[in-house]
Amino acid sequence: MGTTVLDATVEAIEVAVYTIPTDAPEADGTLTWEATTMVLVEVRSGEICGTGWTYGPPACAHVVTGQLADVVVGGDALDVTAAFDGMVTAVRNAGRPGAVGYAISAVDTALWDLKARLLGLPLHRLLGAVREAVPVYGSGGFTSYDEARLREQLTGWVSGQRIPRVKIKIGESWGTNPARDLARMTQAREVIGPSVELFVDANGGYERKQAIRVMHAAAELDIRWFEEPVSSDDLHGLREVRRAVAPDVTAGEYGDSLAYFQRMCAAGAVDCLQADVSRCGGITEWLRVAAVAAAHQLEISGHCAPHLHVHAAAATPNLRHLEWFHDHVRIEQMFFDGALDPTGGALRPAPTAPGHGLRLRREVASRYQVGSTACHEQNSR
């Protein structure tokens, strides 16, 4: 048995910004949008390239080139934790929440993909898998949809792809139209039948007592998941709602650090913690967030960007499920060869493909590129 010494330096980092129009106007309880921006990072060691991304503003790309590239380029490609630690240290004065943390997440996920490819391992095997199939729930059901579109989308998940759990948006216009929220929940239950789990997400659109009243009015619809009934910053309010309603109360999609998630768990604010690999600090931080949740006897659910989460989710013992989010699914299926199929209600990472198993379709992505690609190479420093 010989010893393999792997000399792998991160030699270059590139970042590109893509803005992709939605297939229809989209809205939830507290925001409307007609396009989604992806900031995609590639890191290279020799001929091997790792790819990561976040869904955030173009400013994330400036953070990568201005704050993070110098930390990562020249470092050992196997020591992802050192790179993560260096990035977090480097942004102390810039502040980690928001776009800065999103940028760190994009770089961290690219570095994990690079490491797995360098070692010739599927990423979930490198991380230490605990499951082959990762449960997902269909997610969309925007408040901007009419009855026909909502029916079509729900039917596609439930009948077309046999996904046994789905989520729609409620809290329309900051909670000012609860009658329509109830009508849409009722329609959703009628469409999916009695055995499919129905989830709702208010995106913080309600006030505390209002959230409780809406859920009591919907009692016969057997809602299982009530996401952000009030602002995720209102930990006492989340706990108040949680104690008063039957469905699990959940939050955490904006979390940017271990301290954020620790406060949320310790406050008794949620029945299931949510976190987002593309926001919280990448796979490095996701694994730690999952441990915080486990220490509070909680499961964790991945928010959006399903292909960015799936390998980490396969290696997370206390995972509940991932969000098969319409907007991001559409983009990831367009942009990558190797995108996964949720039929049956679970994603199965490819058992042998190195890294996350995705390959960027550059000719497709380039149609949506905004500005030029920024490249930072070791020998140009």
Q: Which residue is nearest to Mg ion (CB)?
A: 201
Nearest approach in angstroms of CB 203 to Mg ion is 6
Closer to Mg ion at the Cβ: 116 or 275? Answer: 275
DSSP, collapsed to helix, strand or coil, labels residue 306 as: helix
Asked if 332 and 359 count as a contact pair (C-beta separation under 8 A), the reply is no
**How many residues make contact with Mg ion (CB under 5 A)?**
2
Point out which span in 2-10, 125-133, 198-206, 241-249 binds Mg ion (CB under 5 A). Answer: 198-206
Closer to Mg ion at the Cβ: 306 or 354? Answer: 306
Closer to Mg ion at the Cβ: 115 or 279? Answer: 279
- Could you identify the residue written with the tokens 């619809």? 221
Nearest approach in angstroms of CB 320 to Mg ion is 14
CA distance linking residue 287 with residue 281, whole number of Å: 10
DSSP, collapsed to helix, strand or coil, labels residue 78 as: coil
Residue 375 in tokens: 């490249």
Strands 134-139 and 346-347: antiparallel
Q: DSSP letter string over 217-263?
A: HTGGG-EEEEE-SS-TT-HHHHHHHHHH-SSEEEE-TT--SHHHHHH
Nearest approach in angstroms of CB 274 to Mg ion is 7
Nearest approach in angstroms of CB 232 to Mg ion is 9
User: Residue from 26, 108, 172, 201 that binds Mg ion (CB under 5 A)?
Assistant: 201
- Could you identify the residue written with the tokens 């729900």? 154
Nearest approach in angstroms of CB 300 to Mg ion is 14
CA distance linking residue 187 with residue 189, whole number of Å: 5
Closer to Mg ion at the Cβ: 42 or 201? Answer: 201
Cα atoms found within 13 Å of the Cα of residue 28, Cβ hemisphere only: 20
CA distance linking residue 352 with residue 364, whole number of Å: 26
Nearest approach in angstroms of CB 355 to Mg ion is 28
Closer to Mg ion at the Cβ: 48 or 154? Answer: 154
Closer to Mg ion at the Cβ: 181 or 227? Answer: 227
Nearest approach in angstroms of CB 254 to Mg ion is 9
Strands 32-45 and 48-55: antiparallel
Point out which span in 117-125, 140-148, 222-230, 331-339 binds Mg ion (CB under 5 A). Answer: 222-230
Q: Site residues for Mg ion, window 120-159 (CB under 5 A)?
A: none
Greatest C-alpha distance within the chain: 70
Per-residue x/- track, 265-304, Mg ion (CB under 5 A): ----------------------------------------
Point out which span in 149-157, 212-220, 226-234, 333-341 binds Mg ion (CB under 5 A). Answer: 226-234
Residue 193 in tokens: 């039948």
Strands 197-201 and 223-227: parallel
Residue 209 in tokens: 């007592």
Nearest approach in angstroms of CB 63 to Mg ion is 24
Point out which span in 77-85, 108-116, 120-128, 200-208 binds Mg ion (CB under 5 A). Answer: 200-208
19's enclosing H/E stretch is: strand 12-27
Nearest approach in angstroms of CB 253 to Mg ion is 5
116's enclosing H/E stretch is: helix 99-119
Point out which span in 18-26, 49-57, 224-232, 263-271 binds Mg ion (CB under 5 A). Answer: 224-232
Q: What is the DSSP letter of 158?
A: I
Closer to Mg ion at the Cβ: 215 or 360? Answer: 215
Query: Smallest Cα–Cα separation from 106: which of 35, 15, 21, 9?
Result: 15
Closer to Mg ion at the Cβ: 113 or 227? Answer: 227
- The gap between the terminal CA atoms of the chain, to the nearest Å, is 39
Point out which span in 64-72, 94-102, 115-123, 227-235 binds Mg ion (CB under 5 A). Answer: 227-235
Strands 12-27 and 369-377: antiparallel
Closer to Mg ion at the Cβ: 231 or 316? Answer: 231
Point out which span in 124-132, 134-142, 195-203, 281-289 binds Mg ion (CB under 5 A). Answer: 195-203
Nearest approach in angstroms of CB 26 to Mg ion is 13
Binding residues (CB under 5 A) for Mg ion: these are: 201, 227
